[in-house]
Structure 1
Amino acid sequence: MFIAYAVVGLLLAAGLTMSAVGTFTRVEKVIASMLGLGVPESWLPRLATLKALGAVGLVVGLWVPLIGEAAAVGVFLYFVGAVVTHLRAKDHEIAPAGVFVVLAVAAFVLRLASA
């Protein structure tokens, strides 16, 4: 199970890193999407930091199971919030956030199973 966690955790960490970098560097498509959902611009650096910390936590979780589990829960909660934000804005393009939710659940379950 550890190998499965490593694959899912690293895949999720890579996606989080790309998303965080896109927010930090203000990639137009990323920023326009978030602002279009009503996310205040002042929140963007904090949200990018949370994604980056989630990625770090998943990688550290390869060696420290509790950190990996906590990171997976945090990423799950972050992206459940993202799905809710999309739905409240009447934007039904929730597939990317939904994929992150599923990967976070998989990472959590696999990390538990491999401990």
Structure 2
Amino acid sequence: MFAAYITVTIFASLLNGSAAVVYLIGHEFPKAQADMKRLPRSWVPVLGMLLAAGSLGLLGSFAVPMLGTLAAAGLVLYFIGAVLAHLRVGSRKLVNWTGFSATAVAALAVSLGDDWS
């Protein structure tokens, strides 16, 4: 189980960290997504910071296990908000959301299932 915890946690951290970088460097994709969901573009850097915090929190779980659980839960809530934003505007383009949210849920599951700490 510990190998699964390490693998899933590092993968989820890298995936969300890469998304955070895309949001924070001012790439056009997150801006277009914000426009499509009718969200203010000023939210894009804030959303990027939330992804970055979740990514770093997952890595921090190797030192403080509860931090990883909280970070994974925060990412799950982030992606629940993302799907609600999609559905609010009638968007059914949820392929990216599915992958990211499944990774966050997996990180939360392995974090809650850790019986080695």
TM-score range, shorter chain: over 0.9
Asked if structure 2 preserves the Cα contact closer than 8 Å seen for 1:76 and 1:100, the reply is no
Q: Whose helix fraction is larger, Structure 1's or Structure 2's?
A: 1
Match of 1:69 in 2: 69
Q: Which runs of 4+ in 1 moved over 6 A?
A: none
Match of 2:43 in 1: 43
Distance 1:94 1:82 in 2: 10
In structure 2, runs of 5+ residues without a counterpart are none
Aligned length: 115
Render the CA deviation track for 1:14-48: whole Å, top value 9, x for unaligned.
Answer: 11111111111111122212222111111111111
The residue identity in structure 2 corresponding to 1:88 is: R
SS at match of 1:93: coil
Match of 2:25 in 1: 25
Shift of 1:61: 0.8
Deviates more, 1:81-90 or 1:100-109: 100-109
Match of 2:6 in 1: 6
Asked if structure 1 preserves the Cα contact closer than 8 Å seen for 2:30 and 2:44, the reply is no
In structure 1, runs of 5+ residues without a counterpart are none
Match of 2:80 in 1: 80
The residue identity in structure 2 corresponding to 1:43 is: W
Shift of 1:93: 0.8
Distance 2:35 2:11 in 1: 26
Report matched runs for 1:96-115 at 5 Å. 96-115=96-115
Does residue 90 of structure 2 align to residue 90 of structure 1? yes
User: TM-score when scaled to structure 2?
Assistant: 0.91
